[in-house]
Amino acid sequence: MYEKKGPIAYVTLNRPKVLNALSQGAWEDLTTAFEQARDAAAVLGAILTGAGDKAFIAGEDISELAHATSVDAQKSSRSGQAVLDLIENLGKPVVAAVNGFALGGGCETAMACTIRVAAEHARFGQPEVKLGIPPGAGGTQRLPRLVGKGRALQIILSGEMISAQEAYRIGLVNEVVPAGELITRCEAILKQILANAPLAVRFALEAVNKGMETSLSAGLLLEASVFAICAGTEDKHEGTSAFLEKRAPQFHGR
């Protein structure tokens, strides 16, 4: 489900009867929604959540997985990875409003978002090993990058769930809030980000995401490049002028 309010797109996975499990159709719906958010100039950021109050996304649709061949599984894995790459590299901030279980593909989806905010009752995990498979939508790669190799391996190899509070302690989520304040807090975070220069936000996101995939020296070169690009924009002129003139800046993404 896709809805736009002002500069924010709200994407809700709407399969509450199966705890918003990721069927092939659900992956396709996420692709459509985030392509729409990416291509809409008026959309500057997005909030992703699950319908109902029990689950963000409770993992893959096991009824589909049970009948998948090796060929089917590889295709499904690469397809899911592509959707999450779209979310991670949207060029706009995406906040995950984790309103319940975020397991397997759900945890992987949350990790692809820019920022994760969890309700107090949320639970996280990569329980795929209990089904005879490893994570297949980025869990083995994004989780160690977020929480470190040792903690990631414990979560992945045990298959156990962790609480929202533990997820916060290890750096998997940014904040934990009461369930009734979840969307409001996500909106507040996005509005704080969106008050800044759009091009600076976009290029900062790119520098962090791409820099994580390379060496420090290559990452620093990338940083200098995007710094230089932004230094030539109208927004930089506006931002520095507003600072010197002691007024609020008016950015236009140019």
Per DSSP bridges, beta strands 175-177 and 115-119 are parallel
- Residue 206 neighbours by CB under 8 Å, 6+ apart: 89, 91, 222, 226
Coil, helix or strand for 165?
Answer: helix
- Using alpha carbons only, what angle is made at residue 11 by residues 6 and 14, rounded to the nearest 5 degrees? 140
Which residues face 94 on adjacent strands? 46
Per DSSP bridges, beta strands 162-163 and 45-50 are unpaired
Q: Is 128 a catalytic residue?
A: yes
Q: Which member of 108, 175, 206, 245 is catalytic? A: 108
Q: Which member of 28, 88, 120, 128 is catalytic? A: 128
**Six-digit token string for 114:** 């820019």
- Using alpha carbons only, what angle is made at residue 134 by residues 130 and 139, rounded to the nearest 5 degrees? 115
Q: Which residue in the block uniquely carries the two structure tokens 């975020």? A: 102
Whether the Cβ atoms of residue 47 and residue 97 lie closer than 8 Å to each other: yes
Per DSSP bridges, beta strands 55-57 and 94-98 are unpaired
Q: Is 60 a catalytic residue?
A: no
Catalytically annotated residues: 108, 128
